[in-house]
Structure 1
């Protein structure tokens, strides 16, 4: 079986190409992508953009479990960019594709090829300011 991430369960109505990679974490048998993901209007968690935002972004994680093999090339080119708020990111996910139980992920941070179970996407709850916090 093969396909693009948009055909993966739970990945409908998001755009990885317009999202930001905040971190990539590798542990034995697990790969985690921490994202500021762009939710498209059809996504159940989509809301109008917050003031000053161009679209609806939410913190999210993509988790590949039962990783049996992982190759990450191009790591030496990793240079985080800082946005106007000072937050660092590593660019976007240019593509995420599957061929059988193998996955290929491309971005400004290199290329990761892995054999793993199907990835899961978790959208984090929106951050709400504590009344005692200052924005």
Structure 2
């Protein structure tokens, strides 16, 4: 499948394929993917990884609003992976593409086809100490 999400406004200089899906929430009219998002070096909020980190990750949300139609196949096989720290994730976003009449998102958690407004990306603020 053709991955064209980097052309979506706000999705430049991130890698969904190397990010971790922490949660998927579907509510009337809204689909939200909560991510541990990998920022690439050219992203405005990128910072050098700290000791012990392999890359620059930030908590973020991909939000599809004004959802008019949504089909999610493969939900029954969802099993989170648990890492050594006890954190759970559902794998990565293998691909996210716009289609003629909507969007297609694929990952270990299944396949979501939807018709909605363009997705937005919201990166959580880093707490200051």
* TM-score computed with the length of structure 2 as normaliser: 0.95
Structure-2 separation of matches of 1:114 and 1:94: 16
Structure exhibiting the larger radius of gyration computed from Cα positions: 1
Structure-1 separation of matches of 2:3 and 2:87: 32
Check if 1:19 corresponds to 2:19.
yes
Residue in 1 that maps onto 2:120? 120
Structure-2 separation of matches of 1:86 and 1:3: 31
Considering only aligned residues, what root-mean-square deviation do their CA atoms show, in Å?
1.4
Structure-2 separation of matches of 1:98 and 1:9: 13
Residue in 1 that maps onto 2:29? 29
Residue in 1 that maps onto 2:87? 87
Residue in 2 that maps onto 1:71? 71
Is residue 73–residue 111 contact of structure 2 (8 Å, CA) maintained in 1? yes
* TM-score computed with the length of structure 1 as normaliser: 0.91
Aligned length: 128
Residue in 2 that maps onto 1:108? 108
Is residue 3–residue 95 contact of structure 2 (8 Å, CA) maintained in 1? no
Residue in 2 that maps onto 1:133? none
Structure 1 stretches of 4+ moved >6 Å: none
Q: Which runs of 5+ in 2 are unaligned?
A: none
Residue in 1 that maps onto 2:45? 45
Structure-2 separation of matches of 1:34 and 1:76: 19
